[in-house]
Structure 1
Amino acid sequence: MSLFSWNCRGLGNPLIVNALKKAIRIEDPTIVFLMETKLDEDWMTIVRNQCGFKQSFIVPSVGLSGGLALFWKCEINIDVFKSSLSHIDAVVDGGDKFGLCHLSDFYGNPDTSLRTHSWNLLKELCGLSQLPWLVVGDFNEITCAREKEGGAPMPNHQMARFNNTINFCGLREVAFVGPCFTWIYQKKDGIQIRERLDRALANQDWISLFPLAKLFHKSSSASDHIPLLLKFVHIPKRKKQKKLFRFESMWLGDARCEKIVSDAWSEGLLSCSPFPIERCLEECKSKLKNWNHNEFGHVGKRINQLQKQLEWLELQPPSPDANRSLRDTRVELNCWLEKENTMWKQRSRLNWFQAGDRNTRFFHAKASSRFQKNLIEGVFDSYEVWREDGREIEEVFVDYYSGLFSSSNPSDFAEIVNAVQPKVNDDMNARLIKEFQADEVYRALK
């Protein structure tokens, strides 16, 4: 599934319509969002049909100003529940493969004095749904000075308001590929101004649902804005593989951990194995895995159980037993929350984390970001064939490194030896092979 977003600056121009049809034919997007169409609903329906779509939602222009349009293919369902001259807000049903998500097609007010209304609208849209949320379009604003070249610098307070709105809504940038700037303005005096006004923002739930999503900045000569193509990359489910053993930092908070390691190490030493260190490590691994399974289990499930238990206890009439149970449950819940925090801290690998700061959602996001970086979608084998299956990927790596570290058993080393330049001359060699004297040993050890 993919989404094509473009501020086309007027579809009354046949050149722009042709450019749109060509882009749709090449990119084959599932959803198309257009801004500044400058057409009424009847004309936009004609353009929609020319582009090969049957489903649409249109916000007509006011005279020759504004206008929004949303096209989509029949393979998905889109339910629009709110719209204005600045946005189209909808729920997208991508079926079993992509699921449900909240989509806000957004057009920031081009009038700087009215930009605050746009940010208030975005904050309002934030609370309309609990689904994974994606916002895409022309925001008519930049987030920092490096997103603009040429012309007068953007006022800091103006960029700050935009950044504050993004943070308030819990949104993050979707990584893009292509030119840094999405809008180019050529002044009559030859000075060119370039800015990044078009972007895609998403909340953590959407990024977790589509961790490999990529935003492509395409090119077009028909408008001063370039089109955006967002590809929703869904991670295919792979066969469950054996989980690697890793020592959990949260175990160190339990006094029993040291005794388990000590006992396991002693058992390893008593096994009379020819490789005692290896045996000791295996015993530690086995004992710690069993202990973790029996004592810790699934941290998240245990926290949910304790939270429900706490809610139930708070509804009970006060009594000595109820008060004691309430206090004990709170203490245990805080202990488990601390363990969960430590667990996600370890997975996020944030070395600057300070004990006492609890933000598990933040560490979960960092760990998810690491997963996005480290995930191997597929590899080319030695015959340049693309492999995506987990077992095939494993075989490609094993074959490559087996060949890399295997010897071809050469017998003639003369060419290699002759190429090596000697570093030890005859005088140095004579001193190195000279027999040592007793007084030399005495001076060395004195």
Structure 2
Amino acid sequence: MEDFNDMISNGNLIDIGFTGNNFTWHRGHLWQRLDRVLFNDDWLNVFHLTKVEHLSRTLSDHSPILINIKNDCTAPISHFRFQNMWLLHPTFLDVVKVNWEAPVFPDDTISGMHRLWLKLKRLKIVLKCWNHNVFKNLFANISSVESKVNSLDSLFQSDPTEVNFALLNEAKVDLCMFQDQEEFWKQKAAVKHLVDGDRNTKYFHALVKKRRSSNFIHKIAKEDGTMSEDYGEIFSLAVNFFQSHLNKTFTPISSPNPAFIPHLVSSEDNALLSIPPSFEELKVVLFGIDSNFVAGPDGYTSNFFRKTWHIISGD
């Protein structure tokens, strides 16, 4: 059994989940999931929309397993997601500061939450452009700096001068910076059970692929009970469901006699609960959130608000 587990670990094989019955084997009063399909990174890179389905048992006590590969799917829309690795770039804070202090278009007198929302929305556009033109592709940056370190290392061995030594150390510092940025795979994988500093990017990359495959909606039930696997129909059925569900006529229930509700909160407690939070209370709560968490649909992580607090806190 240890050899089998070592084979799974050494081959970087992962279980992407399944649909259908929870158990693949049944005998008497025993139910177990004995049969599994494991995939490696190469498979998920090519067939990233792979689905595993447990079919119904017939004559055998084992369930047949169907591997379904879907490749004719339209690529989903890519939404903005702040990457914490951007914070390590030397020009990031300057980009945020210049954009944040610019007047709000079309009316700079807008205040409150609306002003904050407009500034965050505008900053998204700037960060996308900055990421493409300044930050650029992380893996290409690492490859380029690694080549530079190797060439400078060879140069220093043949000509060990102080100038060549300084150039080599500078290139090594740049390489360390890019390797620190590479931990963004940990953020994308949303792993909570590992401590900071773990840099097993291959493991995180596999988890991201697994989440993409598991979260994809392969089929959906229609009103007549039949299943549809057409991507366009899945999209329209999901939208129609929530449109009809959220637009239902609301019928309020008559309020009960408040005399039956006991007074458990004193007037002093109620006054304390009703006080608007102080500036320091907001800061303490914000700085206590996990750095990779995204609190809302805007895509900004709590680490963004921490690192830029001295710039954006006024809003």
TM-score in terms of structure 1 length: 0.46
Q: Deviations over 1:279-331 (max 9, x none)?
A: 21222212222222222112122222333444444455622455444333332
The aligned residue for residue 361 of structure 1 is 202
Instruction: Return closer, same or farther for 1:241/1:344 CA change in 2, 3 Å cut-off.
Output: same
Whole-angstrom distance in 1 between the partners of 2:63 and 2:215 = 29
Higher Rg: 1
Secondary structure of 1:267's match? coil
Which among 161, 171, 176 is matched to residue 329 of structure 1?
171
Mapped pair 1:247 → 2:85: no
Q: 1:46-65 residue pairs with structure 2 within 5 A?
A: none
Residue type of the alignment partner of 2:187 = Q
Whole-angstrom distance in 2 between the partners of 1:183 and 1:401 = 38
Residue type of the alignment partner of 2:218 = E
Mapped pair 1:280 → 2:119: yes
Secondary structure of 1:354's match? coil
Which range moved further: 281-290 or 255-264?
255-264
Instruction: Return closer, same or farther for 1:337/1:291 CA change in 2, 3 Å cut-off.
Output: same
Whole-angstrom distance in 1 between the partners of 2:83 and 2:7 = 37
Whole-angstrom distance in 2 between the partners of 1:221 and 1:235 = 29
- Percent of residue pairs bearing the same amino acid type: 23
Give yes or no for contact 2:220–2:229 (8 Å, CA) kept in 1.
Answer: yes
Whole-angstrom distance in 2 between the partners of 1:173 and 1:241 = 23
Higher strand share: 1
Mapped pair 1:262 → 2:97: yes
Mapped pair 1:306 → 2:145: yes
The aligned residue for residue 42 of structure 2 is 205
Instruction: Return closer, same or farther for 1:386/1:201 CA change in 2, 3 Å cut-off.
Output: closer
The aligned residue for residue 14 of structure 1 is none
The aligned residue for residue 214 of structure 1 is 52
Instruction: Return closer, same or farther for 1:279/1:346 CA change in 2, 3 Å cut-off.
Output: same
Aligned-pair CA distance for 1:258: 3.0
Report 1 or 2 for greater relative contact order, CA contacts < 8 Å, sequence distance ≥ 6.
Answer: 2
Secondary structure of 1:170's match? coil
Secondary structure of 1:171's match? coil
Which among 420, 441, 444 is matched to residue 254 of structure 2?
420
Instruction: Return closer, same or farther for 1:365/1:174 CA change in 2, 3 Å cut-off.
Output: closer
Whole-angstrom distance in 1 between the partners of 2:62 and 2:105 = 71
Aligned-pair CA distance for 1:385: 7.2
The aligned residue for residue 404 of structure 1 is 245
Give yes or no for contact 1:218–1:229 (8 Å, CA) kept in 2.
Answer: no
Gaps of 5+ in 2: 260-315
Gaps of 5+ in 1: 1-158, 187-191, 411-415, 426-446
Aligned Cα RMSD in Å? 4.0
Higher helix share: 2
Which among 70, 73, 79 is matched to residue 235 of structure 1?
70
Residue type of the alignment partner of 1:236 = N
Aligned-pair CA distance for 1:348: 0.9
Aligned-pair CA distance for 1:370: 1.5
Residue type of the alignment partner of 1:250 = M
Residue type of the alignment partner of 2:137 = H
Q: Deviations over 1:63-94 (max 9, x none)?
A: xxxxxxxxxxxxxxxxxxxxxxxxxxxxxxxx
Residue type of the alignment partner of 1:375 = F
Whole-angstrom distance in 2 between the partners of 1:194 and 1:379 = 27
Whole-angstrom distance in 2 between the partners of 1:242 and 1:355 = 31
Whole-angstrom distance in 1 between the partners of 2:105 and 2:32 = 70
Q: 1:5-404 residue pairs with structure 2 within 5 A?
A: 159-173=1-15, 175=17, 178=21, 180=23, 200-211=37-48, 212-214=50-52, 216=54, 219=57, 221=59, 226=62, 228-231=64-67, 233-240=68-75, 242-269=77-104, 271-273=106-108, 274=110, 275-316=114-155, 318-319=158-159, 320=161, 322-341=164-183, 343-380=184-221, 386=228, 388-389=230-231, 392-404=233-245
Aligned-pair CA distance for 1:356: 2.1
Whole-angstrom distance in 2 between the partners of 1:272 and 1:194 = 65
Aligned-pair CA distance for 1:270: 7.0
Give yes or no for contact 1:217–1:226 (8 Å, CA) kept in 2.
Answer: no
TM-score in terms of structure 2 length: 0.62
Whole-angstrom distance in 2 between the partners of 1:306 and 1:207 = 29
Aligned-pair CA distance for 1:204: 3.0
Q: How many residues align?
A: 251
Residue type of the alignment partner of 2:116 = I
Residue type of the alignment partner of 1:205 = D
